[in-house]
Structure 1
Amino acid sequence: MTVKKNKLKLYGFNNLTKTLSFNIYDICYANTEEAQRQYIEYIDDAYNADRLTEILKKVASIIGANILNVASQDYDPQGASVTILISEEPIEGKDADVVCHLDKSHLTVHTYPESHPYRGISTFRADIDVSTCGKISPLNALNYLLDSFDSDIVTLDYRVRGFTRDINGKKLFIDHRINSIQNYIAPRTRMLYDMVDVNVYQENIFHTKMLLKEFDLDNYLFNVTEDKLNPKEKKRIRQLVRQEMLEVFNGRNMPTIRE
């Protein structure tokens, strides 16, 4: 779904700040230290700074922003981050550059691969922020970002801050209609996830959590396939993966799942 263009008649510049923040989690089972090391290496290669930069450049294109500056970094032993400064309008001349660094917006992504010390569970997290000023909306890039990562759990936060004025001087604290982030998620994606909303409408704060409904165990095994496991092992690993997903989704440690 695309956010409709702003048709409000405003006095001066639309200085509302709209921020869309993601936490995206991918779960994997790697049963040995070597397998865990290889999983981390795989994640670092699959989501290195170069690829993350291309993802954010595409986001800038989707929301109609102009890129001012790109800073990226791969980290040792693992992880990467990218920050892109953007503006709503093209920038002419060098002198204007400083102004836009101060009053325009940014895209950022940081990655955090990690492993459970005993259970063989590894979790990859990507934190993404798309912050814009003016008419451009980060919600336009929502589905592209969801499709860019293999996501078992997603937490989404959208907030509109500040105010702008119409031509009569009346303050406008939001310039578009929204009652849930889910309104902007493609139907094909909504079908795959259980979702929960926690919204504070009077503050223009919207929060949605997404948990994958079904999963194929083979997609969660690293360096081993399901047909190589006996029924007891498959059941145990499925329980471990599901518990990790539920704990991340609920934001708390939970009793061990027994089926």
Structure 2
Amino acid sequence: MKLTPEERIQLHGFNNLTKSLSFNMYDICYTRTKEERKAYLAYIDEQYNADRLTAILSHVAEIIGAHVLNIAKQDYEPQGASVTMLISEGPVESAPSESFEETPGPLPSSVVVQLDKSHVTVHTYPEYHPDEGISTFRADIDVSTCGEISPLKALNYLIHSFDTDIMIMDYRVRGFTRDINGHKLFIDHEISSIQNFIPDTVKNMYDMIDVNVYQEHIFHTKCKLKQFDLDNYLFGYTKDKLSTAEQQEITERLKLEMDEIYYGKNRV
């Protein structure tokens, strides 16, 4: 619903609320030999190198209507990458009223809103089990904005930018701003769950758990892919190359790994 100027909250000065989204994703692979593990990590490093991650963050900045002021990026040895962007206010006079609605955000488009003193960062963490078998890739993206819009509007694009088995998302509103009468506002938009910013087509693919602290404006959602196809977790070959016993053993190891990451605890 589009709000009229009279219906919108009138603020005293700039909106000083800080809205922060942390988007954490995991990709899991079974690598039965050192050679497979090395090839998988090389593949991940190529797929998510600093240049590719810079392009992803540039699209995030486009979606939330920000100017990119500065980019620092680095590929690490033996693996991993980081990108940090400093972004500033977008070239518009007012934020669109639909920014307040609990709906999935767009894929890359010309959405623009007000921002100031904000940043977007990403760090990657390839990792593997010391006894071979399981390799994982984790990417952490943080989007922090000031102004009226929530960085949750970039969530839809981020989900579609990574082929992920597990997603863990945190959203928090910090600080306060004031209305024209000096009354403090500690949040300026309605939100009941991060899930409301995820399309139904994506939600249908994942099991989801919410842990929200409404009075503190803290929202937490984690997601684990429902369907399991062993072929999606083997690197360089398919399950028909394995015996039935091998398929069962590998499946159990992969599902255990995903459950431990999803629930945040060791289960053996």
TM beyond 0.5: yes
Q: How many residues align?
A: 240
Q: Partners of 1:205 and 1:36 in 2: how far apart?
A: 37
Q: CA deviation at 1:89?
A: 3.4
Q: CA deviation at 1:105?
A: 0.8
For residues 1-259 of structure 1, the aligned pairs below 5 Å read: 7-90=8-91, 104-255=117-268
What SS class does the counterpart of residue 157 from structure 2 fall into? Answer: helix
Q: CA deviation at 1:88?
A: 1.9
Q: CA deviation at 1:118?
A: 1.2
- Is the Cα–Cα contact under 8 Å of residues 34 and 132 in structure 2 kept in the other structure? no
Q: Which amino acid aligns with 2:171?
A: Y
Q: Partners of 1:183 and 1:111 in 2: how far apart?
A: 27
Q: CA deviation at 1:137?
A: 2.2
The percentage of counterpart residues that share the same residue type is 67
- Deviation digits for residues 77-100 of structure 1 (CA, Å, limit 9, x no counterpart): 00000000011235xxxxxxxxxx
Q: Partners of 1:15 and 1:154 in 2: how far apart?
A: 29
Q: CA deviation at 1:119?
A: 4.1
- Is the Cα–Cα contact under 8 Å of residues 84 and 122 in structure 2 kept in the other structure? yes
- Deviation digits for residues 54-92 of structure 1 (CA, Å, limit 9, x no counterpart): 0000000001111111110000000000000011235xx
Q: CA deviation at 1:184?
A: 0.5
What SS class does the counterpart of residue 109 from structure 1 fall into? Answer: strand
Q: CA deviation at 1:8?
A: 1.8
RMSD over aligned Cα atoms: 1.5
- Deviation digits for residues 136-177 of structure 1 (CA, Å, limit 9, x no counterpart): 321110010011111111110000000001111111111110
Q: Partners of 2:49 and 2:149 in 1: how far apart?
A: 27
Long gaps (5+) in structure 1: 91-102
Q: Which amino acid aligns with 1:28?
A: C
TM-score, length basis structure 1:
0.90
- Deviation digits for residues 190-248 of structure 1 (CA, Å, limit 9, x no counterpart): 00111111111111000011111112111100122111111111111111110000000
Q: Partners of 2:150 and 2:220 in 1: how far apart?
A: 17
Q: Partners of 2:128 and 2:90 in 1: how far apart?
A: 43
What SS class does the counterpart of residue 212 from structure 2 fall into? Answer: coil
Q: Partners of 2:132 and 2:212 in 1: how far apart?
A: 35
- Is the Cα–Cα contact under 8 Å of residues 85 and 120 in structure 2 kept in the other structure? yes
Q: Partners of 1:82 and 1:21 in 2: how far apart?
A: 15
Q: Partners of 1:70 and 1:14 in 2: how far apart?
A: 25
Q: Partners of 2:172 and 2:257 in 1: how far apart?
A: 28
Q: Which amino acid aligns with 2:48?
A: Y
Q: Which amino acid aligns with 2:59?
A: K
- Deviation digits for residues 14-58 of structure 1 (CA, Å, limit 9, x no counterpart): 010000001100000010001000100000000000000000000
What SS class does the counterpart of residue 34 from structure 1 fall into? Answer: helix
